[in-house]
Structures are given as C-alpha cells and as structure tokens.
A and B are shown apart, each in its own frame.
Chain A
Amino acid sequence: DSGVTQTPKHLITATGQRVTLRCSPRSGDLSVYWYQQSLDQGLQFLIHYYNGEERAKGNILERFSAQQFPDLHSELNLSSLELGDSALYFCASSVELQAPNSPLHFGNGTRLTVT
C-alpha cells in the first residue's frame, strides 16, 4: 500500500459530462502529481502541485483543471469529456521538502470510461 488514496476507483460517464477525481497524498507529502495512462499513450504527465501551488504543467488539456487544497488533497476536474479521455488517471505524491528527489508514490488510479 503506497499510502496514496484515489477515489473513485471506477467512473463511467457519457461524452460531454464533467467529472472530478480525488487524491489524498501520503501523510506528510507536500507534492501531488497527476498522470494519465491510456493504452496507446503510456504514462503522460499532466500537472504538479506543491503545497497548494501549481509547479509544472505537462500535456494537460484546457478542458482539464486541477487544484490542491490546504489539507493537501488534490482534485482533477475533467470537463466536456470525449471518448478519447477514457484512461487510467494516477495521482502520485512525494515529500520533497528536505528530499527534493524523493521518489513518487502512486495511488492505484481511477479508471475513467467515457461512453
């Protein structure tokens, strides 16, 4: 168990809808990363938050947004969903305060299916 909790585990929704994925990082971890993994794309970095502030953006679509709250949990919002958004969405956390290259600890992901 990595200590990173993602909810829900599975999500099935229709095109055009909006969903929110939630991530609770490991206790003490200040950084949260979001990744998308689809069959043909591999693991794609979406966005990184550190202690509530956005630190880096990757291949995140404008229809997607994220935030990290004061209690350090994070939410990834996906709107105007398309069939191609169907994927596994992973959240990872790491400490980084005194160990900037501390490894990432991943949750077990949310499997999103857009029909």
Chain B
Amino acid sequence: LAKTTQPISMDSYEGQEVNITCSHNNIATNDYITWYQQFPSQGPRFIIQGYKTKVTNEVASLFIPADRKSSTLSLPRVSLSDTAVYYCLVGDKGSGNTPLVFGKGTRLSVIA
C-alpha cells in the first residue's frame, strides 16, 4: 500500500486559495489518487480523483506531476464552511483486495 504524507494542519483566511500537498513516493502504476473531505461527526465526502496531470470539478482541482509521487488539492476562494479534515488516499481498489487506507488527514481551518 502506498503511504501518504500530508501536513497535519493548515490555516487560511476566507477568500484565499488553499493548496494541500500530499506525498506518495511509492505510488504504484495502477494506483489512483483520491481526496475526501470530512466534517465533524459526519462521514467523509468524496471531493476529487485523478490518475495523472490535472483534474478539475466544481469543487476543487487536483494537480498531479508526471512522476505522480505527490499531488496537490487546490480549493479556490475558501469559505468558513470549508473548515474540515482533508484526506489524501492512494490505492487501486480495482485489484479487489486493496483497501483504501485513510491517514491522519489535514485539518484545514478557515478564518474570517
């Protein structure tokens, strides 16, 4: 299983762009990179997933360099409601026997 490393916490002011980087040096060829958001006492919520280059949806962008050893989740113009824990996961569920392992995540605090 590819191990991930993320900052434990980050602070940001409202309206700023936030970039959270995740390191996954031993990512395997078939592994995908998936980010989840979790609010207190709620289940994690899928944000975005990618394999390489850049992926963008209505919530965030995911930047993946060519070597895929890291990835960056970009949240544009954050608001107070973006305060949450963000998890980076790396794995290949397609193998059928590789569980997705959540690390400690990054606790993002957005300040007014």
Residues on A facing B (Cβ under 8 Å): 2, 4, 33, 35, 42-43, 45, 48, 50, 55-56, 58, 88, 90, 92, 94, 96, 100-109, 111
Contacts and interface: CB of A to CB of B under 8 A. Distances in A.
B14 to A, nearest CB: 27
A100 B93 CA distance: 6
Given A42-B103, A42-B104, A101-B93, A56 B46 contact: no
Given A104-B44, A109-B43, A48 B49 contact: no
Contacts of A45: 99-102
A58 B104 contact: no
Interface residues of B, number: 25
A56 B46 CA distance: 21
A48 B34 contact: no
Interface string B48-61: 01000000000000
A33 B99 contact: yes
Contact of B32 (A56, A58, A101): A101
Contacts of B97: 55-56
B42 interface: yes
A55 to B, nearest CB: 6
25 contacts: A4-B43, A33-B100, A42-B102, A42-B103, A42-B104, A45-B99, A45-B101, A45-B102, A48-B99, A50-B96, A56-B97, A58-B101, A88-B41, A96-B93, A100-B93, A100-B95, A101-B93, A103-B49, A104-B36, A104-B44, A104-B100, A106-B43, A108-B43, A109-B41, A109-B43
A55 B43 CA distance: 22
Interface string B17-52: 000000000000000101010000111111001000
